[in-house]
A and B are shown apart, each in its own frame.
Chain A
Amino acid sequence: MREYLKLLTVGMLCIILLASQVIVSSAAKRTLEVWAPGGKVWEDTYQEFQKTHPDIELKFVPLTGGFDERKQKLLSAVAGGVPPDVMWVDRFEVSQWAAFDTLTPINKYLPKYKVSSSQYIKQTWDEAIFPWDNQLYALPWQTDDRLIFWNKDIFKEVGLNPDKFPVTWEEQLELNKKLTKFDDKGNVTRIGFAVVEGLGANGGEWVLGWANGGEYMTARSTKATLNSPKLVETLDWLVKMTDASGGVEKAAAFQGTWGSEVQAPFFVGKIAAMINGNWTFESIARYAPSLNFGIAPIYRRDIYKKEGKLVPITFSGGHAFAIPKGAKNPDDAFEFIKWITGIEGTRAYRKASIEFSKSMNRPWAPIIFAYQSSNKESLEAFAEQPVSQAINAGVKLAFDLMPYTRFRDRSPAALLMQREFLGHARDEALYHKKTPKQALDDATKTIQAELDRLIDEWEQRTGKKLR
């Protein structure tokens, strides 16, 4: 028995030694741990990176779960001292991560790797800069924007010109009243012009605030200006628009009856017009190819009122790749984020997504990359496989609007701002609990208190002065 045990121990030791040898020798290959989205298209793209970078061993961990969950994972990993080398982040969160010292500033890599801001769409690049220290914390990957979509058949049905969308808020309110429909019990059965997030629109609040000449924060994001008169006026109009479609309670009840995909409210005539994102084009191509729809940009209301000129405005979000603080292999990490956001990576991604759509027998429409020159190729590739004239024109317009786009204020209190402006404060106004002015005054106080706390903390830690 003893002999047997001895033998076993020696055997085990040998195996452990051997195994560690294998590990040591494979460690000669530099590993790179990447937390990013999974799925066929992404995995093909990573494989392309692996093929062109044989000396780096890519260890890819697919990100699962929603916004909250991803955040907790990165937070625990950084706090625990075992962060990945590369992390996919929502660009509008970059400043929050940066304020908490969780990301590596990447400015010093730019000259060496020949990366410059001019290669990327300006706004997407700027959104990855933390305004308190003016450092760049991520490379932008993709973006999007918002436009007005409307159902031409419904316009004809109520006797409106189906080829024209009114520009002024007064006209749009009238239009909304005209297009909104109720049944005999007073339930909403169609929303005329959806502008409120969650009630048929996406990004409406933000873009309309800018369209009216409003600003949510000061340039360096040290002061919240949510209660500025222009934004109060915007919220006031949003309340009027919601009241015109039956009020928020009825609209919310109606929203509960909506489906998705083929049953999406805009495709089945439950929404006549809406502010929504450019991803809608691919959905139309896929789920409602015969939809007779029109598109128009949102215009700057302030400029139009003053000079009668039509200047478009839109709102962009999107994702970026960043290097967490404490990453073991930051050099290769930068090579990776440069590659994946640059011409080669976006090319590989486009190729993979076209192939994937083909294999699934689905129409394909390009997303907007942050990398400028890749977008030209996207449009060329798209021209080769047109879906319909309306969709082609729409996709083209979405690309053309990029120079006019804005992004949400970069701030460590960005999420709180979002919770107030698209939630708490907005709802207080929509439910007529407070006037728009009161609601935004209170929200501004809440956000400013949080901002001050964050600024204090940041100033103390870095020894820099913001105010």
Chain B
Amino acid sequence: MVKFRRNKEEIITAYLCVLPWSLGLSIFIIGPIIASLTFSFMDYSVVLPPKFIGLANYRKMLFGDPLLWKSLYNTLYMTVIGVPLNIVLSLSVALLLNQKVKGEAFFRTIFYLPSVVPQVAMSLLWMWILNPQVGLVNYILSLFGIKGPMWLASEQWAKPAFILMGLWGIGGNMVIFLAGLQNVPQHLYDAATVDGANIWQRFRYVTLPMLSPTIFFVLVMGIIGTLQIFTQAYIMTAGGPMDATLFYVYHLFNKAFRDFHMGYASAMAWFLFIIIFAATMLNLKLAPKWVYYETE
């Protein structure tokens, strides 16, 4: 009896302990998720009572909003080109910084530093760096006799400019890769060396497979993050020039907070969720073909 009582007390204490968190989760996360799903079937402008309109928002999205497709294209462009580039570069830097050289801590700090800069500050800084007339990038290009593009002022170059800027912030992924590299057991390299593997073969057949779970993680997170890209465009280009940097979430923001189409914007959010969900499922499906887990 006594034992049971104590148990009950423990249970209550446990529930009390998780209560703040679960309250927060249900009020601030699950609640809004359910609400946005409901609103996606409604005409809702926040201040006026919502009106049920069935699938009209989704229909309009698919057939009556060319800007949505443009914004989706822009976002996928950033994902398809930006994410792999980011992975290749951050992995290369991580490999370099994994060498036992003098001052490695210093170099790691230097490369990580840009990731600490807030997005807003970074955006303002890069507006100068990318300026075609006085910016650093085009100045360096001009030293090699290359006439730099118009970057943010050009419809073709605005997205590449954002990708370039994103590469500046590879520090976060670099640290993850460094951690992954530390986990590759030395004996595998030793064995490979004994078998006569050269440096490329050691990378290709030891490092890469052992690192594949890390790459997988970075890839999935990168895709999810890039599909939600917003801040840079909001600050640097306002979606321009010619909607070249109107990303999906920016379009959603315009609809929700500038035109008060909260219902439509909710439908857009769910559409994005479906896209992200599908991309992630596809990744998970493909993973067994190239991701190697030691435990298997």
A residues adjacent to B (C-beta < 8 A): 68, 71-72, 75-76, 78-79, 96, 100-102, 187, 248-250, 252-254, 256-257, 325, 415-416, 419, 423-424, 427-428, 431, 433, 450, 457, 461
A433 lies within 8 A of B48 (CB): no
Q: Which residues from A are CB-within-8-Å of B48?
A: 100-101, 457, 461
B260 lies within 8 A of A100 (CB): yes
B242 lies within 8 A of A427 (CB): yes
From B132, B151, B155, give the contact of A431 (CB < 8 A).
B155
A253 lies within 8 A of B257 (CB): no
Additional A-B contacts beyond A253-B150, A428-B242, A431-B241 (11; CB < 8 A) = A68-B257, A75-B47, A78-B47, A249-B150, A253-B133, A257-B133, A257-B134, A415-B258, A423-B239, A423-B240, A427-B241
From B47, B238, B259, give the contact of A450 (CB < 8 A).
B259
A101 lies within 8 A of B133 (CB): no
Mark out the residues of chain B between 219 and 269 whose CB falls within 8 Å of any chain A CB in the assembled complex: 238-243, 254, 257-260
- A256 with B47, Cβ < 8 A, contacts A250-B150, A415-B258, A427-B241 known: no
> Is the CB of B38 closer than 8 A to any CB of chain A?
no
Q: Which residues from B are CB-within-8-Å of A325?
A: 47
Interface centre among B133, B151, B238, B257 (most CB of A within 10 A): B133
Interface centre among B153, B155, B240, B243 (most CB of A within 10 A): B153
Q: Which residues from A are CB-within-8-Å of B115?
A: none
B residues adjacent to A (C-beta < 8 A): 43, 45-48, 127-128, 131-135, 150-155, 238-243, 254, 257-260
Q: Which residues from A are CB-within-8-Å of B239?
A: 423
Shortest Cβ distance from B155 into A: residue: A431
How many A-B residue contacts, CB cutoff 8 Å?
77
Shortest Cβ distance from A102 into B: residue: B47
Q: Which residues from A are CB-within-8-Å of B154?
A: 249
A187 lies within 8 A of B47 (CB): no
A254 lies within 8 A of B133 (CB): yes
CB distance from B257 to the nearest CB of A (A): 6
A100–B49 alpha-carbon span in the complex (Å): 10
A256 lies within 8 A of B131 (CB): yes
A450–B254 alpha-carbon span in the complex (Å): 13
Q: Which residues from B are CB-within-8-Å of A76?
A: 46
Please name 11 pairs of A and B residues whose Cβ atoms are closer than 8 Å in the assembled complex, sorted by A: A72-B257, A79-B46, A100-B46, A248-B153, A249-B150, A252-B153, A256-B131, A415-B259, A419-B258, A457-B48, A461-B48
3 closest A-B pairs by beta carbon, nearest first, are: A252-B153, A253-B132, A256-B131
- A257 with B131, Cβ < 8 A, contacts A427-B240, A433-B242 known: yes
Shortest Cβ distance from B237 into A: residue: A252
Q: Which residues from B are CB-within-8-Å of A419?
A: 254, 258
B133 lies within 8 A of A187 (CB): yes
A428–B152 alpha-carbon span in the complex (Å): 16
Interface centre among B47, B48, B242 (most CB of A within 10 A): B47
Shortest Cβ distance from B135 into A: residue: A256
Shortest Cβ distance from A254 into B: residue: B133
Q: Which residues from B are CB-within-8-Å of A101?
A: 47-48
A416 lies within 8 A of B259 (CB): yes
B153 lies within 8 A of A249 (CB): yes
A253 lies within 8 A of B131 (CB): yes
Shortest Cβ distance from B138 into A: residue: A253
Interface centre among A100, A248, A252, A431 (most CB of B within 10 A): A252
Q: Which residues from B are CB-within-8-Å of A72?
A: 257
B155 lies within 8 A of A100 (CB): no
B133 lies within 8 A of A252 (CB): no
- A68 with B243, Cβ < 8 A, contacts A75-B46, A252-B150, A461-B48 known: no
